[in-house]
Structure 1
Amino acid sequence: MSTLWKRALATTTIALVAGFGMTACSTGDNGSTTTKSTQSQTEQAPKASGVMTADDFTQRMNDAQYKAGSAHFTQSTEVSGQKLETSGDMVLNKDAAKMRMSMSMPRGMEIRIVDGEVYMNLGQLTENKFFKAPKDGSNPIFAQLDQSLSQADLGKQLEVFKAALKDFKADEGADTIDGVKTTKYTLTLDTKKMLASSATEVPAEALKQLGDTVTYELYAGPDDLPRRMVMNMAGTAMTMDFSQWGSAAEVTAPSADQITDKAPAGL
């Protein structure tokens, strides 16, 4: 697997878990986009009211996402002049143990995350089938992803995110994205504090590459739902656009005949 694919996977993990808590996703037992416990919590969520502030943006944004229940996303990741275009769907819920996300990549490759399990179809490397990622920590990429998923607790992430916030700016009248007029929020986060909740020890050299701060540009509509997120971290530039809030496709695990036990070489 090339450096570009590895960096794309790692950056996606950081973006979705460390930023905005959007990886705590699942469906209910009846296949709906929210569970009963989520419904009772979102019904009590405050209604969107004007431009978000540094004090309320995390709670308002997550309340809006969980109430919507699902979203489609497209992602563009650029590393060392190479660009990777991906797309997928997420089904959102506050229970991180039931996370669901799919991400399609070029050449027929696909990643699915369902109920904490990671499945990767790497084309010819996996005989066009899905390889179920090991949980024994033997692969550093899968180990990082597994640890991130296990920590995707909304309350904890909100605390870390607020503690790491160094600067917050809101610019109304920003880009119109997918037909929605947005406000651009620029967030500057303390890198060490942002990674403080990670069970994975970040090497000193990696921290040096990340720098003292990480900046997110977030475009959100008047409904508090994110429409675009822009991030540049350690030489990896990523833009994610979100659409189809509340009506994205369902995400399911591969069937037994779609799964191979053969580990992909070079990953």
Structure 2
Amino acid sequence: MKWNIRRTAAAVIVLPVVLGAAACGKTDTPAPATGQTATQSSSAATSDASTSGQPYKDKASFVAAMKAAGKNVTSAHVTMDMDAAGQKVAISGDTKLDAADPAMKMSMDMGSSTKLEMILVDKKIFMKGMPGLAAGKWAVIDSSSTMGKQLAESLNQADPTKMYDQFGAAVTDVKYVGEDTVEGDKAFKYDLTLDTKAMQAQMPAGDKTKLPDTIQYTAWLDEKDQLRKVTFDLMGVKANMTMGKYGEPVDIKAPAAADTVKAPL
């Protein structure tokens, strides 16, 4: 159980950050419209023309669109369902997208009465519901431990200006599939190919998981070019993640000191 909690807890943080990276990038220039060159896009930007609300047919315009859409995003709500070889995990939480002071609050239901809550704030990691932990208490993860280093590195990767560049480098191919809806909103569906070698730097230190050369994702952008849904099926792990409530207020605070104890790892 301890191994599953460590690996899954890391996935809770890494996946939303990696998959949602482009939703919180920074840019001063909107994405090129389908068929536009970078020069044409720059001219359109000067005239304040908007290219959102349409499908993108290549990697450059797709990635640039997400980057432009997220330049002012301050928060997002994330839900994710994972099925790892029969072990079902349900995740829900809020993320504060701030390069200087990122924060996350997540709840995770792993079934079999295993329910975890996690808070990442002020570069500290707190977890409630771990086996061996008194009810109602939050474990403070030692930043020098293996898990602490993994989670702390993942939190550091929440810097949107860094994560966008990494995500952009990993995407090697974008195929537009067609129009769809996500939670009742119009969306555009895409098949993405990501280079796992380019993703290695985004993974927690010490993670030696053997991955194929490329990973296939399906992603949905809404009419504002915001990333709203991502799915993948990889090495026995199926995941379905949705993102929304962009820019809505989030309240993420560290637990009271009296409610914290050293993590039983």
Same fold (TM over 0.5): yes
Cα distance in 1, alignment partners of residues 239 and 249 from structure 2 = 22
Instruction: Give 1:192's aligned residue.
Output: 197
Structure 1 CA distance for aligned equivalents of residues 139 and 222 of structure 2: 38
Equivalent residues in 2 for 1:206-221 (5 A)?
206-207=209-210, 210-221=211-222
Deviation at 1:14, TM superposition (A): 3.0
Q: Which runs of 5+ in 1 are unaligned?
A: 25-37
Q: Closer, same or farther in 2 for the Cα pair 1:58/1:186, shift >3 Å?
A: same
Out of 95, 103, 106, the residue aligned to residue 103 of structure 1 is: 106
Partner residue of 1:76 out of 72, 75, 81: 81
Aligned-residue identity in percent = 31
Structure 1 residues 8-47: aligned runs within 5 Å: 8-21=8-21, 44=28, 46=30, 47=50
Call closer, same or farther: CA 1:8–1:62 in 2, change over 3 Å: farther
Preserved contact between residue 8 and residue 77 of structure 1 (Cα < 8 Å): no
Residue 58 of structure 1 corresponds to which residue in structure 2? 63
Q: Does residue 145 of the first structure (1) align with residue 151 of the second (2)? A: yes
Alignment partner, residue 129 of structure 1: 137
Change (3 A) 1:145 1:58: farther
Segments of 5+ residues of structure 2 without an aligned counterpart are: 31-49
Change (3 A) 1:16 1:172: same
| AA at the equivalent of 1:237 | K
- Structure 2: distance between partners of 1:60 and 1:123: 40
CA distance, structure 2, for counterparts of residue 236 and residue 51 of structure 1? 29
Q: TM-score if structure 1 supplies the norm length?
A: 0.77
Which string of whole-angstrom CA distances, capped at 9 and with x for unpartnered residues, describes residues 223-251 of structure 1?
11121111334432221112322225322
> Could you tell me which residue of structure 1 aligns to residue 168 of structure 2?
162
Which amino acid in the other structure matches residue 252 of structure 2? V
Cα offsets for 1:56-89 (capped at 9, x unmatched): 3334324433524222221111111111112111
* Separation in 1, partners of 2:193, 2:142: 35
Matched position secondary structure for 1:126: coil
Contact 1:17–1:23 (Cα < 8 Å) also in 2: no
Q: Which has the higher strand share?
A: 2
Separation in 2, partners of 1:76, 1:231: 11
Partner of 1:228: 229
CA RMSD of aligned residues (A): 2.8
| Structure 2 residue identity aligned to 1:15 | L
Cα displacement string for residues 105-149 of structure 1 (whole angstroms, at most 9, x for unaligned residues): 23552001113211101256321211111111x22x332222232
Shift of 1:180: 0.5
Count of aligned pairs between the two proteins: 239
Looking at CA atoms only, which structure, 1 or 2, has the larger radius of gyration? 2
Distance in 2, matches of 1:195 and 1:243, equals: 27
* Alignment-mate amino acid for residue 116 of structure 1: K
What is the CA-CA distance between 1:213 and the residue it aligns to? 0.8
> Is the 8 Å Cα contact of residues 216 and 230 (structure 1) preserved in structure 2?
yes
